[in-house]
């Protein structure tokens, strides 16, 4: 099994956020995984990580 790090992308974060919102009546936990994923994706996008 490979343990290669893959940076969080905006597409991946969007899927995570969408799934969490569907499962929680449209709400995203402020400190939840979806919020952290979106934050990481935004940082990567600003750094130019693809």
- Mean pLDDT (10-residue bins), the chain, 50 residues: 86 97 94 96 88
Non-local (6+) Cβ contacts of 40 within 8 A are: 7, 8, 13
Cα–Cα distance between 12 and 37 in angstroms, integer?
A: 8
Number of domains in the chain: 1
pLDDT at position 3 is 80
pLDDT at position 1 is 62
Q: Is 18 contained in some domain?
A: yes
Q: Is 40 contained in some domain?
A: yes
Range of the domain at 19: 10-23+30-47
Q: Is 34 contained in some domain?
A: yes
Cα–Cα distance between 3 and 44 in angstroms, integer?
A: 19
Q: Is 5 contained in some domain?
A: no
pLDDT at position 7 is 93
Q: Is 1 contained in some domain?
A: no
pLDDT at position 4 is 86
Q: Is 37 contained in some domain?
A: yes
pLDDT at position 8 is 95
Q: pTM of the prediction?
A: 0.82
């Amino acid at each position: 099994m490979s343990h290669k790090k893959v940076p969080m992308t905006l597409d991946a974060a969007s899927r995570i956020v969408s799934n969490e919102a569907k499962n929680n009546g449209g709400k995203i936990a402020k400190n939840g995984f979806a919020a952290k994923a979106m934050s990481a994706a935004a940082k990567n996008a600003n750094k130019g990580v693809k």
